[in-house]
Amino acid sequence: MHVLHVLGTRRDFLKAAPVVAALRRRRVRQTLVHTGQPQHGAVPEDLLQAFDLPEPRFNLAVGSGTHAWQTAEIMSRLEPVALRIEPDLVLVYGDVNSTVAAALAASKLGLRVGHVDAGLRSFDRTLPEEVNRVVTDQISDLLFTSSAEAGGNLARESVPAERVHQIGNVTIDTLVRLLPQALAKRDAAGTIGLNGHRYALVTLHRPYNVDDEGRLAGMLDVLGEFSRHMIVVFSVTPRTAQRIRTVGPVPPDLRLVEPMGYVDFLSLEARATVAITDSGSIQDETTFLAVPCVTVWPATERHETVTMGSNTVVADATGVRAELERVLAGEGKTGSVPPLWDGCAAERLAAVVCR
């Protein structure tokens, strides 16, 4: 058996790392392709080292562009790779343009497609990620879900039940594997001056939050206001940093830091008093860690992090302020861990693939 993994973003590597490791233990031949979807999207070496994974054999180096251009470019560059490799299964992850592009290219070549994180729905078709999810699920042969709710979504969309396999959350597999190492680290917290202090950890990168100057300015004002009561650490991507510079001075007590490796970030995340984010993986991780999470996004596709976990979804800075006031009052949400979020999802996936 030969499995081709198509990875576009850092979050895809988070999901794929334990899957690659689990299939390797079953002696499955594997090839990794990095589409190079983000403009500054380097392969996360820290995750490759942690799981002893090889560098991707192919880098399509697509870069940024419009949704249509990027999707088409990934398809055209991936097709000759797939024809050369002739895999038995193409595994795609999440909901980015690389996901749907790879699924379409493979399906048109008559190759079997497996979708990891299938069935997630925000029920908002104005979001490009939602379109990617729906299309990918409809053309996939194996759909690996993280919850019973995701399976229910697929059933309502008439996806045959025999294609659907609830395995749990592979993002949590990565967390479970590296959490002991993260908890043993104090370097990141010490460098920022966090040791012994309560703090909020912030990541915002989606255009919804950072491309609208008024929305971004409002977020910075709220974070600056909150930083008078608790340290606020804002991990900013180069793109977000550029957007922040266009809206004026940063509140003086807000601590901006560059993106860090997974283990360093996890060491901060696990000890945070609250997280403010628009990242899907952080919604999952904070639910497992019982860290209150405020997701700034019109709607989440990860409903179990809200109904069971520690996540609260808000639309704007006003909602963030209200949730942070609850955290200050000691009423932050902690929740519980959803079923099968136990660090063994990749093993269950590998068992299905090999069966």
Active centre residues (catalytic): 205
CA pair distance 199, 77, nearest whole angstrom: 44
Sign of the four-CA dihedral 22, 7, 264, 331: negative
C-alpha 151/C-alpha 144 separation (Å) is 9
Helix (H) or strand (E) holding 200: strand 199-203
Helix, strand or coil, per DSSP, at residue 216: helix
Distance CA 312, CA 323 (A): 8
Q: Give kind and range of the element (H or E) at residue 352.
A: helix 345-354
DSSP type of residue 161: G
* H/E segment holding residue 48: helix 45-50
CA nearest 287: which of 277, 76, 154?
277
Do 289 and 278 contact (CB within 8 A), yes or no? no
Find all residues with CB under 8 Å of 60, minimum gap 6, and list them. 33, 34, 35, 36, 74, 77, 78, 81
Q: How many CB atoms lie within 10 A of CB 322?
A: 13
Q: End-to-end CA distance of the chain, in Å? A: 11
